[in-house]
Chains A and B, each alone.
Chain A
């Protein structure tokens, strides 16, 4: 780089540019926050959904699955599992409940979490709520 472009000019671009784009980012986040109520399905966040989210977390479901495409890629996407299972909470609960304790020989298997009926219901409600978030048309199809 030539002598006319000095280190202090480079430094000023760094501080000025970073500050400007950080403020712009904050403005966009602020705008996003005000637009979120229309897309994030917050009206359906019940106590049961919140409980379901907590169960989702403390059982580390994200360690195998994706949810809205984020997480691990070892097991199916669950953001749309409610629709994939025919809009049925019972199907979700039945699947979780029926996982064999010792797994399936040679294959990937979900652990048996020994949920109570109330917990199963909460997890299913949480996944139903997740499926109703407006994700701009993602995933491309029902397979997630």
Chain B
């Protein structure tokens, strides 16, 4: 760690991992509810568990992004963070607000939560991923603005690198597009249209900037490749991400009451969305192959390469699979979507946050560069357990989705939704099995932080 104030990243990373565990526990509950429909009913109905699962994901990724920014920006800017104190205050506000929101979901009926939090004054609740009470949303905006102020002031007073500028642009975009979550018109079509301004322009837009910047940072540090080369790659990748991804939003406007021409715009541009992800894979492998040094933190390098591969598979390949309008006509809103969602979020955003944690945490905990070999071996086990089980979750959901599409939509004698669900049950059982392996992988991951602490730091292979 070069700057004392980078240490504020640590609580952010710890909170991220804690919430990640919560997210996966609820994922396992949801998977079980798919096959044992009455599990935890009516105490925790599916919709509540799902809300907890998806909202925890978003919140912990945001913790991860903020922690990453607090770690990266001082080092990139070659100066201490503008205000570590503000970062600490915002940490507690965000954590308490997040925890209260999740408890609200679990302890009171959702309609009652809406009433208690005054949803009628400014109704924003009850839309997928944006279920948070309006007051929580306002809290998110306050936290985001303070955070941006803190990061922005740090960059302003220090060295300005492409890595930190791209990070800043991505984070500003994240905050700006979140404002659309406050817009909830009575007209369902317009509601859906602008809802995607948050959801799509986040995950297939500005978040890719954050992802690219974090990946570039870790690659600069672990490979020793010239910054000029890495930053050039970074700009090309994020240029392709936005050039394809912005109009690519159109792949959500095929069947929601919007004009038919979106089928052309959406199909053509989103068909190119895998390009930046493929470049990211090339980027990661190229830089590691051209490395000027062997970094002792091999776990972090593994996560970085894994991000390159899995983001391309999950977001690129599985996204392309159902993005063309004539295909999407049959697959829209089926388990195919769920399959893509799982691998894309894991491969792109979960893995990049874990990459950054893997790289930074040893220093934040007082190591010079890396954990002991023993700890790294356990961490790499968790990498493989989680990654492979996520591949299987995706494959089983894809199989379920293909059958669902055929039985419910494609055949000449379409069956009702629930009958189809019964017929594809085997794949839900298999998915649940893979989900439990994922949970085991996550437990192994958490364990890696407690293994080999007294042993000497790993050294780089010559």
**Residues of A in contact with B (beta carbons under 8 Å apart):** 1, 5-7, 10-11, 13-14, 17-18, 21-22, 24-25, 28-29, 31-33, 35-36, 39-42, 45, 49-50, 53-54, 56-64, 66-77, 101-109, 111-113, 129-130, 133-144
Residues of A within 8 A of B238 (CB): 14
CA distance A137 to B48 in the complex (A): 32
Residues of B within 8 A of A144 (CB): 408, 417
* Chain A to chain B: the 4 pairs with minimum beta-carbon distance, closest first: A63-B47, A57-B126, A108-B37, A69-B333
> What is the minimal beta-carbon distance from A35 to any residue of chain B, in angstroms?
5
Given A6-B232, A138-B255, verify A103-B47 contact (CB < 8 Å).
Answer: no
The one of A14, A28, A39, A101 in contact with B189, judged by C-beta atoms closer than 8 angstroms, is A39
Residues of B within 8 A of A105 (CB): 38
Give the number of residue pairs across the A-B interface with Cβ within 8 Å: 231
B459 within 8 A of A: no
CA distance A118 to B265 in the complex (A): 42
- B contact face: mostly helix, strand, loop, or mixed: helix
Residues of B within 8 A of A56 (CB): 126
> What is the minimal beta-carbon distance from B341 to any residue of chain A, in angstroms?
10
The one of A1, A61, A68, A129 in contact with B256, judged by C-beta atoms closer than 8 angstroms, is A68
Instruction: Mark interface residues in B234-271 (1 if CB within 8 Å of A CB, else 0).
Output: 01101100110011011011111111101101000000
26 CB < 8 A contacts A-B: A14-B235, A17-B242, A18-B246, A40-B257, A45-B186, A49-B186, A58-B115, A58-B119, A63-B47, A64-B45, A71-B333, A73-B333, A73-B337, A74-B47, A76-B417, A103-B37, A104-B38, A106-B36, A135-B256, A136-B263, A137-B329, A138-B254, A138-B332, A139-B409, A140-B414, A141-B409
Residue contact B247 to A25, C-beta cutoff 8 Å: yes
Given A17-B242, A57-B126, A69-B332, verify A143-B408 contact (CB < 8 Å).
Answer: yes
Residues of B within 8 A of A140 (CB): 329-330, 409-410, 414
Residue contact B127 to A57, C-beta cutoff 8 Å: yes
Residues of B within 8 A of A112 (CB): 42
Residues of B within 8 A of A17 (CB): 239, 242-243
Residues of B within 8 A of A101 (CB): 42
CA distance A6 to B263 in the complex (A): 36
The one of B37, B119, B186, B193 in contact with A53, judged by C-beta atoms closer than 8 angstroms, is B186
Given A1-B236, A36-B187, A59-B111, 6 further pairs, Cβ under 8 A: A18-B239, A40-B188, A58-B125, A136-B255, A138-B254, A141-B414
Residue contact B128 to A70, C-beta cutoff 8 Å: yes
CB-nearest residue of chain B relative to A31? Answer: B259
Residues of A within 8 A of B329 (CB): 137-138, 140
CB-nearest residue of chain B relative to A108? Answer: B37
CA distance A102 to B414 in the complex (A): 31
CA distance A58 to B118 in the complex (A): 11
Given A5-B232, A10-B236, A140-B409, verify A102-B418 contact (CB < 8 Å).
Answer: no
Residues of A within 8 A of B114 (CB): 57-58
**Residues of B in contact with A (beta carbons under 8 Å apart):** 33-34, 36-38, 41-42, 45-48, 50-51, 110-111, 114-115, 119, 123, 125-128, 131, 162, 184, 186-193, 228-229, 231-233, 235-236, 238-239, 242-243, 246-247, 249-250, 252-260, 262-263, 265, 329-330, 332-335, 337-338, 408-410, 414-418, 421
CA distance A58 to B123 in the complex (A): 9
CA distance A49 to B191 in the complex (A): 14
Residue contact A28 to B265, C-beta cutoff 8 Å: yes
CA distance A1 to B242 in the complex (A): 20
Residue contact A74 to B34, C-beta cutoff 8 Å: yes
Residue contact B417 to A143, C-beta cutoff 8 Å: yes
CA distance A53 to B278 in the complex (A): 41
CA distance A33 to B260 in the complex (A): 13
Residues of A within 8 A of B186 (CB): 45, 49-50, 53
Residue contact A40 to B190, C-beta cutoff 8 Å: yes
> What is the minimal beta-carbon distance from A127 to any residue of chain B, in angstroms?
10
CA distance A111 to B123 in the complex (A): 23
CB-nearest residue of chain A relative to B254? Answer: A136
> What is the minimal beta-carbon distance from A46 to any residue of chain B, in angstroms?
10
Residue contact B41 to A103, C-beta cutoff 8 Å: yes
Residue contact B236 to A21, C-beta cutoff 8 Å: no
> What is the minimal beta-carbon distance from A58 to any residue of chain B, in angstroms?
4
> What is the minimal beta-carbon distance from A63 to any residue of chain B, in angstroms?
3
Given A1-B233, A36-B189, verify A72-B50 contact (CB < 8 Å).
Answer: yes
CA distance A107 to B46 in the complex (A): 12
CA distance A71 to B114 in the complex (A): 19
Residue contact A36 to B330, C-beta cutoff 8 Å: no
CA distance A17 to B323 in the complex (A): 22
CA distance A25 to B263 in the complex (A): 14
> What is the minimal beta-carbon distance from B265 to any residue of chain A, in angstroms?
7
CA distance A134 to B192 in the complex (A): 14
Residues of A within 8 A of B128 (CB): 62-63, 70-72
Given A28-B247, A143-B415, verify A73-B257 contact (CB < 8 Å).
Answer: no
CA distance A32 to B262 in the complex (A): 9
Given A136-B263, A143-B417, verify A13-B123 contact (CB < 8 Å).
Answer: no
CB-nearest residue of chain B relative to A49? Answer: B186
The one of A10, A36, A111 in contact with B258, judged by C-beta atoms closer than 8 angstroms, is A36
